[in-house]
Amino acid sequence: MSMPMMHPKRKNPILRTRVMNLPPSARGRVALGLTAAAAEGRLMLQVCMRCSAVQYPPREACARCLSPELHWHDQTGEGELLAVTILRHSNDLYFRERLPWRIGMVKLDAGPTLIVHLHGDVGEAPSRVRVGARLDRSGQAVLIGFPEQEVPHMADDSVLRDMTSDPKFRKVLVTDGKSPVGQAVARAMVKAGADIVWVGVAEPWKKPPGFDELLALPQVTAVPLDVTDSRSVQTLGGELGGKVDIVVSNAEVHRNFGIGSRPGTDSAREEMEVNYFGLLRLSQAFGGALKARAADGPASACAWVNLLSIYALSNFPPHGTFSASKAAALSLAQCLRAEMRQAGIRVINLFPGPIDDEWNQTMPPPKLAPAAVASAIVKALRDGVEDVYPGEVAQEWLERWRENPKVLERELALGGAQP
């Protein structure tokens, strides 16, 4: 088993903060299929539609029969570790800073032979392993050989911890600590071993149920943060930016209006002000500080989580202006990801279906409990994925959207609102 990670020592403040040297990130267009799957935590390989060969590395045509008809399919990753070697020298800056580095050759039961990074709990060859795809610090897919069976403290392995964003021993900012989701996320972070959880408080004169109990947790500290107020965001960024390792941008406004059901723009503007401009303000105030600390030891800055909505993919007309604000936020989150990726910070987008809160009161179940949203966030951080669609509704919408976005749009417009 992996040695459980010990609490990192305090940083020596007279030493320079190391900067991030990213692992090699160049990939061809075809190879990005592997990355797209890894972004959701899946291992997918190309399968030839004509001769059924499973192939790796990804190519334009089947290496066996030259057919261009290749489809990406999920793989179990089970296979045989054939050989292990230890890299003791590398001219690549990322690996140079992390030597020695174990790599192995695995023959998948499905056919192809792969070179993979090895989890510390994988022993010598020959042995059975399970290959998984993960995003590395450059945001590109890499293959990792895991032990066939789960072992304790697997997440603490140094290879894995470098690629994931485990909240353990990290400091987390939850931008809205008062909402049901915010409270659940804060609690989940504490449970996941976060050192400090700062929870943002806007409009301090409004106190929701459960908030005092949350603040009673020793790891949790309330901080003034109103994402509609640039000065408030900048002030907190100045105060805490250099300490926050994980930002959970969960502040949102959700109203149940389309275009015709609400005169004027006030509630739509409120949604945009929080859901879109709030994210922009936060990104400007905290993004730079996170990027600067991406290689700051074993509890470095590592991730940014956005609470979006499955409605960001396709407008849900009864919640039309909310959908539009989340679509805007998704677009901005992609920009944020592009900027943060260059520094080695993971941006995770969460696309939940209806959450069981005040603003979905009239929605029929299934609805996602706030605690389920929180678990999905912690799991995403631990698994190192980029895109998460928690819950049945989100999964079904995603499937339908991938199948045919136009059909989904038309179904939603016809009032076939809920899948």
Q: List interacting residues with another protein (CB under 8 A).
A: 203-207, 226, 228-232, 255, 264, 266-267, 270
How far apart are CB 205 and another protein at their closest, in Å? 3
Give the residue with the Cβ less far from another protein, 322 or 401: 322
Least distance CB 285 / another protein (angstroms): 13
Which are the contacts of 221, defined by CB distance < 8 A and separation ≥ 6? 196, 197, 198, 199, 215
Q: Cα–Cα distance between 145 and 130 in angstroms, integer?
A: 6
Closest approach of Cβ 327 to another protein, in Å? Answer: 23
Closest to another protein by CB, 201 vs 376, is 201
Residue 358 C-beta: closest distance to another protein, Å: 8
In whole angstroms, how close is the CB of 231 to another protein at the nearest point? 6
Give the residue with the Cβ less far from another protein, 227 or 381: 227
Buried b (16+ CB within 10 A) or exposed e, 394-403: bebbbebbee
Q: Return the number of the residue (109 or 266) whose C-beta is nearest another protein.
A: 266
Q: Which of residues 12 and 361 has its CB atom nearest to another protein in the complex? A: 361
Cβ closer to another protein: 30 or 222?
A: 222
The answer to whether the beta carbons of residues 137 and 159 sit under 8 Å apart is no
Least distance in angstroms from the C-beta of 214 to another protein: 17
Q: Please give the radius of gyration of the chain, using alpha carbons only, rounded to the nearest integer.
A: 22
Torsion-angle region of residue 203: left (phi > 0), alpha (psi -120 to 50) or beta?
A: left
Instruction: Name beta bridge partners: 134.
Output: 142
- CB nearer to another protein: give 99 or 259: 259
Q: Do the Cβ atoms of 281 and 143 come closer than 8 Å?
A: no
CA distance 377 to 383: 10
Q: How far is the CB of 397 from another protein (least distance, A)?
A: 26
Half-sphere exposure of 148 (CA within 13 A, CB side): 13
Q: Collapsing DSSP states into helix, strand and coil, what is residue 209? A: coil
Query: Whole-number minimum distance, CB 255 to another protein, in Å?
Result: 8
The residue among 219 and 235 lying less far from another protein, judged by its C-beta, is 235
Cβ proximity to another protein, 202 vs 343, nearer residue: 202
Minimum CB distance to another protein, residue 359 (Å) = 9
With 0-12 / 13-18 / 19 or more C-beta atoms within 10 angstroms meaning exposed / middle / buried, residue 255 is middle
Q: Smallest distance, Å, CB 25 to another protein?
A: 31
In the sheet that holds 44-48, the strands lie side by side as: 54-55, 44-48, 70-74
Nearer residue to another protein within complex by CB, 168 or 178? 178
> What whole-number distance in Å separates Cα of residue 222 and Cα of residue 75?
44
Q: In angstroms, rounded to a whole number, what is the distance separating the alpha carbons of residues 256 and 271?
A: 11
Query: CB of 283 within 8 A of CB of 336?
Result: yes
Q: Are 350 and 376 in contact (CB under 8 A)?
A: yes
Return the SS3 of 284: helix
